[in-house]
Structure 1
């Protein structure tokens, strides 16, 4: 099992890769059979090919992640982070306030990412 620090480092790498529009960097953090549920309560995207297509849509040069608090560890194989995602759409800035929870396998790769946000967690500037 990865250490708490390895989990936090991987989660920060996720943010850094996203903000650098580094799709390959993001994908390298995921296990082959990982899932992404964004937002929580929707059908999960499963497997590296589907996750690649998901991130191709959002890693677009117009979207940035801003961490709101330090990344939180756990006594197990997961971590959580509070953040907001800012993106440009139709001439406006949209901000999504999100909690992301990630679980990791013994090799330190993400096995699941769940993003918790609802309609009331979005704002338009």
Structure 2
């Protein structure tokens, strides 16, 4: 799939799914045999059912995503920078990340890689 409009709409559906804490709406964006690597150097999570469980666990952490700029498209891959707002160890934190989605001809995601690491995690000082 190399339709930029479709690919961009899938990225928005992903962001919107997090806003609603709806893991099922995210899982259906993936092919049955898709893989997720989050972070990108971790072992793959394989298959829609396992991917659904992964996102359901993530949503238990009250995560919010905010896009940082436009979705970038190259062939059948969409890349997007975003900010993750969450609680980590009970403290507010942010992670600046970049995800990539690789698309199959049918428009479903076949692979997702999340690029972030410890240097991208920042704790937010709450006002006293």
Same fold per superposition (TM over 0.5): yes
Offset from partner CA, 1:2-46 (integer Å, 9 cap, x none): 411111111111101111111111111010000000001110111
Instruction: Give the Å deviation of 1:92.
Output: 0.8
Calculate the aligned-residue CA RMSD, in Å.
1.2
CA contact (8 A) 2:26 2:52 kept: no
| Runs (4+) off by over 4 Å | none
SS at match of 1:73: strand
Q: State the distance in 1 between where 2:20 and 2:50 align.
A: 21
Determine if the alignment matches structure 1 residue 118 to structure 2 residue 117: yes
- Provide the residue aligned with 2:35 in structure 1: 35
Structure 1 unaligned spans of 5+:
none
1:61-76 matches, within 5 Å, as 62-74=62-74, 76=75
Report the Cα offset of residue 89 of structure 1.
3.1
Q: SS of the counterpart of 2:18?
A: helix
TM-score (structure 2 length as normaliser)? 0.91
Q: Which position in structure 2 is the counterpart of 1:105?
A: 104
Q: Normalising by structure 1, report the TM-score.
A: 0.93
* Higher RCO, Cα 8 Å, sep 6+: 1
What's 1:83 paired with? 82
Output one character per residue of 1:67-114: Cα deviation in whole Å (capped at 9) or x when no partner.
11111111x111000001111233311211100000011111010110
Task: Tell me, in whole angstroms, the C-alpha distance in 1 between the residues paired with 2:49 and 2:90.
Answer: 31
